[in-house]
Amino acid sequence: MTIPHLVQYQGSKRNLASKIIDFFPKKFDRLIEPFAGSAAISNACAHSMRTKKFLINDINPALINLLELAVNEPRYLSKKYKTIWDKQHNNPLEYYNNIREKFNESNDPALFLYLLARCVKGSVRYNNLGKFNQSPDKRRLGTCPKKMEKNIFAISYLLKGKCEFISNDYREILELGKQGDLVYMDPPYQGVCGNKDSRYYSGIDYKIFVEDLQRLNERNIDFVISYDGKCGDKSYGKELPKYLGLKRVFVTAGRSSQATLLGRDMQTIESIYISSGLAKKTSVLEALPNISQ
């Protein structure tokens, strides 16, 4: 079975998931994702059977409600998505805008799934009032119901009965970690943007984040972070400090879609940071020549 995903969610690590989980232990007690997004890493980790317990968190409650419904009520979500999707054909753009308005009134997870499947770049965007305001992709109608149903049921198969779903600040989630857990973090890049509303993070405080990582070290909790990187000659994000004792691995994420649109051929390189305790347990590091400390 291939690793399933709900939507092509912007920022999702689904294309890198198999590389990232190579740095995970073969077996551990629980995976904690404080910045879960579409939970691509949890899906991949469940697929590889490295753990049977997951804490999936995202500050956006609409996203967490959707993931929880997909895992626990796959038949209901699939049928409702099909009903919504089938009604769009007469005037897709007007229909999308009407669904967006209804979602902003109700926060219905099935409506949100349709919006994510149809919006530009699978990108979650909210206005200053906290209303979802991303535009529809005019070139497509979103994932067809049969394919969506297959993905929903596959995700449910992997995760049902194994998950705790929370929508809280990531710092509260880190406090729930215990020895034996593995924390995977894919936070918004510091320095890219620095505002947040009640449902969408667009940045975190670098200094506070570093302090949080130091506390994880002191508590002997293993963690892996996707944080900074580069595309061509341009770097993004700020390197994490060396005194944390992390192992840094460079992973090729593929061609930059934005650069491709501009007629350029540039590779995106992402940094994966591995806590020192975990690095000692992860044999795959021994075969990698591109590790800096």
CA distances, 84 to each of 56, 126, 142, 201, 286 (Å): 27, 22, 11, 28, 50
pLDDT in tens, the chain (293 residues): 678 888 876 555 767 888 899 899 999 999 999 999 889 999 999 999 999 999 999 999 999 999 999 999 999 999 999 999 999 989 999 999 999 999 999 999 999 999 999 998 778 888 988 899 999 998 889 999 999 999 999 999 999 999 999 999 999 999 999 999 999 999 975 444 444 444 444 568 899 999 999 999 999 999 999 987 777 667 677 889 999 999 998 888 755 444 433 445 567 788 899 999 898 876 555 545 444 44
Q: Do strands 163-166 and 54-57 pair parallel, antiparallel, or not at all (unpaired)?
A: parallel
Q: Judge contact between 118 and 136, C-beta under 8 A.
A: yes
Q: Element (H or E) spanning 54, and its range?
A: strand 54-57
Residues 246 and 218: their CA atoms lie apart, in Å, by: 13
**Dihedral angle computed from the Cα positions of residues 206, 208, 209 and 211, in that order, rounded to the nearest 10 degrees:** 120
Q: Judge contact between 46 and 38, C-beta under 8 A.
A: no
End-to-end Cα separation, the chain, in angstroms: 36
**Which residue ranges form the domains of the chain, and what is each CATH number?**
17-69+158-292 (3.40.50.150), 72-154 (1.10.1020.10)
The whole model's pTM is what? 0.87
Three-state secondary-structure class, residue 163 = strand
